[in-house]
Structure 1
Amino acid sequence: METRKDEDSESIYMNVDDNGANHSEVYENFFADTATPKAGSQAVSEGKQVRSGRPAAVCLGLLCVLLLAVIMGLSTKHNAEKEQLWNRFNNVTMERDQLQASFDNLTIERDGLQRQLSNIEILCPHGWRRFKSSCYYVSHNINTWDHGRQDCRGKEADLVIITSREEQTFVSGLASNFWIGLTDRDRLRQWKWVDGTLPISGYWMRGEPNYYTYWNSGTFIHENCVQVASNGYDPLFNWKKVRCDRLHTWICEKMTRCVIKYINVKEEKKSLSQTVLSLKVERETLLSSIRNLTEERDQLKSSYQNLTKERDQMNKTMNELKDKLMSADNVTEMFNVEGWKKFGSRYYYFSTEEKSWNKSRQDCIERGADLVIINSREEQEFIKKGSRDVWIGLSDEEREGEWKWVDGSALTTTFWKSGEPNDFQRGEDCAVFLLCSLPLRTWNDLPCTHSVAWVCESTKRPA
């Protein structure tokens, strides 16, 4: 019995020592051993083998479950990121297509505006020379300063007004020894252009203006007019002050007029179709490269902004040209009746004489009109286009400080100069339109007995 116990113990220790070498057999015989009961030392030995293999199997199973969970999580995350990237790609593609469509439309609009702009031609009358936005006429004979200006007015122009260095150089090359529209007749040594503005810069000869005075038959004669002496002189230093009764040629100046040229509509349509087809091909080329999508989008945005600015500039230029056309063709329509002009639905007479306010009004009444009543900014700007200071139909003769128009209506819209009306020395009861003032603030009060030119206004077409 004791010998048997020792043999069993030895067998148990041998099985424990051999457990590491026969570890693989545990997995192979696990289910078989548990299903078939063993007796004695063999059962004890195999029982220890089963108990040492179970934790390894459990750990392996948990690792497999954990690995499966990680794989499923990564797969879900990958699919979500893939969906986000696809949505982003679709959004960027849609935005690119919209920008491309805007680019196509703006390109077509720009081309149309360029064609319209190219169809506008700036013209001057026959025998006139053009420089920038003005036309110039050089007389073929000589005469006094006053006669030269009268001739220019007959041509719907006036003696030349030089406002820039470039214009001075251009005008100096047209003729020699000619009159320009600069004088100090109104006030000695205060030089003004014929439109009442002061010269910004002068191109006088050395020593000019010298203010010499001549004594002739008991009268002082001043040099109140300016000629340009081009022969042998620097074109930037050739103004000379002379007597207005000298005989010289003269140069007239007026604004250019614009004419729209008509082109073949079919050719324009064909050219436009070719442009659209070319742009579609270009769009397909842009769609072929996804890697450069962001860069192309930025370029299109930049082009869009530039085209928008270009379109706005072209629209501004077109509007300015249209305004000039409207002003030239519709606003200042001339009639065969001398001295009359049309503005809107009314007719205006610009006098060439100077009389008191009451005599000026009487002249208007005899013409079937009355002194002008200014009710709007546009009418104010129209009167500003005249060539001299004029009476208007506004006075406070009946009651001091209560200004009324000649039709009895109260004054609502005003264009008084700064500080006016001031009733200087309590005798200024009539309103005069001063051309030398700011573009809109031109009204001043004067004594009604002063002699000034006038403007009549009528609702009926003059006979």
Structure 2
Amino acid sequence: MLRKRTEPEMDEDIYANSGNVLELKSTASNDSKDSYEKIYINEDVPETRTTRSHKESLTTVTRMGSTENRRYRLAAVFLGLLFVLLLTAIILLWIQFNHLTAERDQLQTSNTNLTAERDQLQTSNTNLTAERDQLQTSNTNLAAERNQLQTSYTNLTVERDQLQTSNINLTAERDQLQTSYTNLTAERDQLQTSYTKLTAERNQLQTSYTKLTAERNQLQTSYTKLTAERDQLQTSNTNLAAERNQLQTSYTKLTAERDQLQTSNTNLAAERNQLQTSYTKLTAERDQLQTSNTNLAAERNQLQTSNTKLTAERNQLQTSYTKLTAERDQLQTSNTNLAAERDQLQSSYTKLTAERDQLQTSYTNLTAERDQLQTSYTNLTAERDQLQTSYTKLTAERDGLHRRFSDLVKASEEGWIFFSSSLYYVSNGKKSWTESRYDCRKRGSDLLIINSREEQDFINTLRKDKMVWIGLGDSETEGVWKWVDGSEQITGFWHSGEPNSDGDEDCAITDRYWADYPCNSQFNWICEKRILITV
């Protein structure tokens, strides 16, 4: 509502505004004074820093500042006169407004009741319409979101099935490779055992070699026949191993399928319990949100009503200032129209209330359905990520087995022999120690390092009566024997009296035991390449 202003208040406003004008004038005067002081100060600068033309320009600026000062004073006087005229016009309009206000107040009393009722209904109608539109929009958005989640759920289900299939295939392939690897290891151990037995037999024959040469030849013939017979038995063993591997693979597949079904059953039970817990929590949260929504809606309606009333009152008073006389004649007609409009708005209010309740129900249902789909989407995403991780691990494991298997096959074809996580290569020719090591490095390995009695026994059977270089020397410090990897020799299998450092003997060979020899001597050599056999 507009408040009548008294004449003393108007006078105070005039004095306040005139004070502001004086302050503006004093500020302009101070600014010009400061500019003059700055100009005078600048005149004290030596001639070396300010030229004569510069001084003339400063004098011109001083004159322009004086002109600006006169303009500010004229503008202040003009604004003061304009303010007095505006104040006189406002007073005249205020007197006229008081005469019309008395007549308006009589009609305003009867019009206020109907107007307030109409405004309330109009506000309720507007609020319900907006709420209906919001619910309609929310309903549409939830339906679209539900469709998107449904599509994502379907895609994730398909992706999960594909990953599950790939996981099963990789698991089966890994098991087959693992089985093959285990079988090859067992076969290698058997061959190693046979090799050891044959080596022991050969050593016995070697002991009587000097006395029974003819008997050795006969035994060598028998050995050849036994080797052929062993190869036949080995072929039969291989066929039986392949048949056993096929049966083992079938057993593994059935076991994996049973475990998979058991895991799926457990996961579904856990997922059902999680969904039940989520449903309980969401129900409690929904009730809290419903209560908060009701309170906020009531508060919003009150604020909206107050805002609408204030806006209508402001607009009506603004219009009444120029149209109060015409409004007096139209108020009677407006009363009848407002009554009819009130009835129409009442009907619209009832219809919108019913429509709002229906939309609220649809909104609640769609929200619940969206939450369920969101939960399913989250679970499927987690399951997909787990399967993806398993798929990646199994792929890496399979590739590692393939690489190691290929390396073993390739090394075997190149003449390398496997023993206790290392590959060994025996040369056919003879070279010095340095040349032998250079050849080993070209093959991606180094000269032999012996760390145990078992390895020494294996080398004794591998070298076949050859004296071979090993990766041991004391060329850096006499008497300090080091392996080619830089480590000092701890375990040793020297001949009696060795090493004796007779002359320049800085490198080591082995026959049955070790001995030091000059590094430029010509012997066969054995290369060693360590490999990783664990998966």
Task: Return the TM-score normalized by structure 1.
Answer: 0.34
User: Which of these two proteins has the greater Rg computed from alpha carbons?
Assistant: 2
Q: Which has the higher contact order (CA 8 A, sep 6+)?
A: 2
Structure with higher strand content: 1
TM-score by length of 2: 0.30
